[in-house]
Structure formats: C-alpha cells, structure tokens
C-alpha cells in the first residue's frame, strides 16, 4: 500500500533570499514586481538618473503596492529638507543612500536606512561596516569613479564570502542569467536589481522580473 509520502509530488526547495527591484517608474511595473515575488521596490529620487521619479510619481507607485512589499527611497547627496519633504508626501518604508553621506546624516530621518558601498577591495567592505553602525544593512555595488550605482557592472563576488558582521545586500550587474551564480558565490541573503530586468531604461520587463526572482530563489 502506498503511503502519503509517495503521493506528494517533489518540488524544488525555495530559499528565503530577499529581493528588491530598483528603479521603478510606473505603477504597473511595481505591481508586476510584487506579483513576481519581490520583497521591495526602489524609487530613485536622483535627477541625474535615467530612472528618476518625482514625489507625485512615487506616491502613485507606492499606492499600488500590496501589504508586506516595501517602498525604498533612493537618494544621492540630497539636502535634508528635500528628503523630509519627500518622506512627508510618499509612504516610504526604508531609505537607501547612494552618495557620500555619513552615518550621522543617514540616521536623522526616522526610517531604517541602507547604505550603498562601491566595492573595489575587501577593505572597502570592512571599512563600511565600521563607518555605518546604524545602517539596517549595507548594499555592496560595483565601483565606478563617477557614477553612484545603476551602471550594470558587477564586481568580484568572492570578496563577500565569510562573516561580514552586518546584514548586506548584493547589487551590481545582476540579471536573470547570473543571479543564481552570484548568490551561490557570494552567499548573499538579499539581492538588488535594476537594469538587468528592463526592456529600456526605467521600463521593467515583466518576464525578466519573474525569471530573476525564480532564479534567485531556487539556489
């Protein structure tokens, strides 16, 4: 006689990796990201970015997010008053700082914050842990001499192996094709993608987002 165990189909094990899809510019893309299984969406408040949004656009995007999908606001060397005004207008859960801000600056806005770190060497990782003790997590991105993220470039993921001593997020050049390898190589528990799931700058591709989430979670 067959037991219940033999009647249960085998399924692939899904890991608990957290996924943020950044550079959302349209409500429909935010909904598609959430439906694909993203845990957070990123809203870029940096005028020089191809994915920049206004407070009014961000408010429309945030309004369609389902429960437990976080809205993350990204700033680059912005003035405190501007940040506070955006936080007043838009229901932001977490702030992500991508510029030259220090810990004192980042912690003043009554929101958990993430700090982006452009990685050239292992020393950059350890230095950042010491410099940002109040960060909820560090986001490790590829180094670029003039750009503050969103370059589509990756870095040596093996630098992240081992105990960093603080929660962290892997970013930089991730795509549906390489995210599984990136997670395996680095040991990341969270990943951040933008250009790797787009059809054009700022316009997300529904199929690419779904493929990215699926690849990241089955490692």
Q: Could you list the active site residues?
A: 22, 141
* DSSP annotation of 195: G
Q: Pick from 57, 2, 61: which is nearest to 33 by CA?
A: 61
Distance (Å, rounded) from C-alpha 55 to C-alpha 126?
Answer: 35
Distance (Å, rounded) from C-alpha 63 to C-alpha 90?
Answer: 9
Strand stretches in 81-130, DSSP E: 94-97, 113-119
Residue with tokens 């656009």: 57
Distance (Å, rounded) from C-alpha 77 to C-alpha 100?
Answer: 6
**Pairing of the two strands 203-204 and 198-200:** antiparallel
Q: If DSSP codes are grouped into helix, strand and coil, which group holds residue 174?
A: coil
């Amino acid at each position: 006689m067959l037991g219940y165990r033999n009647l249960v189909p085998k399924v692939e094990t899904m890991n608990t990796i957290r996924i943020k899809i950044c550079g959302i510019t349209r409500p429909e893309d935010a909904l598609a990201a959430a439906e694909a299984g993203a845990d957070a969406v990123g809203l870029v408040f940096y005028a020089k970015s191809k994915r920049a949004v206004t407070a009014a656009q961000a408010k429309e995007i945030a309004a369609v997010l389902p429960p437990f999908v976080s809205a993350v606001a990204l700033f680059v060397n912005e003035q405190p008053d501007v940040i506070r005004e955006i936080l007043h207008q838009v229901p932001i859960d977490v702030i992500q700082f991508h510029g030259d801000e220090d810990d004192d600056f980042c912690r003043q806005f009554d929101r958990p914050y993430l700090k982006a770190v452009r990685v050239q060497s292992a020393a950059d990782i350890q230095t950042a842990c010491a410099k940002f003790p109040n960060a909820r997590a560090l986001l490790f991105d590829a180094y670029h001499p003039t750009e503050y993220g969103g370059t589509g470039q990756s870095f040596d993921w093996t630098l992240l192996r081992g105990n960093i001593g603080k929660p962290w997020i892997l970013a930089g050049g991730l795509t549906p094709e390489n995210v599984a390898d990136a997670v395996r190589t680095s040991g990341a528990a969270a990943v951040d993608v933008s250009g790797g799931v787009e059809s054009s700058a700022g316009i997300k591709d529904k199929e690419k987002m779904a493929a990215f989430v699926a690849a990241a979670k089955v490692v």
